[in-house]
Amino acid sequence: MRLSRGFYAAYLISLVAALVLVTPRNLTFKPGPSLIVAVIAITVAVLFTICLAFWTIFRSLRLRQKSWNSYELVLDGDRLIKRMTDGDDLIVHRSEVSGFDETAGRGFFVKTQDVHRYIFVPSALNDYDELKRELASWRPFPRARARDPIWSSPFFIGSVCLLAWWMLWFSANKQHVLAAAFVLLVFLISTFVAVMRSPRASIGMKRMSWIYLVVAGLTLVRVAAVMRVTE
C-alpha cells in the first residue's frame, strides 16, 4: 500500500511537471480578452488533469483496501487456499511448497518453484501463530529476518522513482534523461507484466495496471522531446 501511494504521488508530480515544461519559455502575454480565455483554458486543463489523477489514485487505493479486507486463508488438509472477493482462489498444495521466507513483525511468504505462485501471510492475520505451527510441519521455517533488504523496501523504491522522475523532467542533459528513462521503463514495464501474470493479483489490480503503461508513454514522450531538441 505504501509503495502504491509513493508511485501514484510520483505520477501526479510528473503530470504537473509535464504541464510546466511543455509551456514555451519565451511565451509573452498581452492583456485582453484572449489572455483571459487562455488563462481559463489552462486553469481548467490543469484542474481536470489533477482531479483525474487524484480520482485514479483514490479509486485504486479503495479497490485494494476492499480486496485486502476480504483476504482469507484456509488450511484444508494438504492445501493452503487464499481467497479474495475480486479474484480467483489461489491453491498451493503441500507438495508444491519449496520453503518459507519470514520477516519479523511483517509476516511470511509461502514459496513455490513458480515465482508467480506464492502466498503472503501477514502477521496481522487472525490465528497467525497457529497457522505458522501447522505449516512448520510441512517444511521447517528459517530464522526470521529482522527487516527486508533495503533494495526491496517501499522507501528505497519510491525514492529511486522520484529521483528518476525529477531527473527525467527537469534535466536538460540527454544522458541523464536517458538513464532516468531506462530506470523508469524497467520498473514500469516489469511491474505491469508481473501484475498481469501474477495469479495472486486481484481483478481490480489488473484493471488498474494500465496506469503503468500511461506513465511509460509519458516517459517516452519526454525522451523524444529531449532527443529532438538536442539533435
- What pLDDT, on the 0 to 100 scale, is given for residue 20? 55
- What pLDDT, on the 0 to 100 scale, is given for residue 115? 78
Q: What count of Cα atoms within 13 Å lies in the side-chain half-sphere of residue 4?
A: 18
Q: What count of Cα atoms within 13 Å lies in the side-chain half-sphere of residue 8?
A: 21
Q: Is 78 helix (H, G, I), strand (E, B) or coil?
A: coil
Place of cell 486543463: 45
Best CA proximity match to 188, nearest among 8, 2, 1: 8
Give the tens place of pLDDT for each residue, 160-187.
887 888 888 788 788 888 999 998 898 8
Q: What is the CATH number of domain 71-136?
A: 2.30.29
- What pLDDT, on the 0 to 100 scale, is given for residue 110? 92
This prediction has a pTM of 0.52
In whole angstroms, how far apart are CA 15 and each of 9, 71, 139, 173, 212? Answer: 10, 34, 48, 20, 13
Give the domain ranges of the chain: 2-68+149-230, 71-136
Give the tens place of pLDDT for each residue, 87-115.
677 889 999 999 998 888 888 999 998 87
**Which segments of 77-117 are extended strands (E)?**
79-83, 90-93, 97-103, 107-112
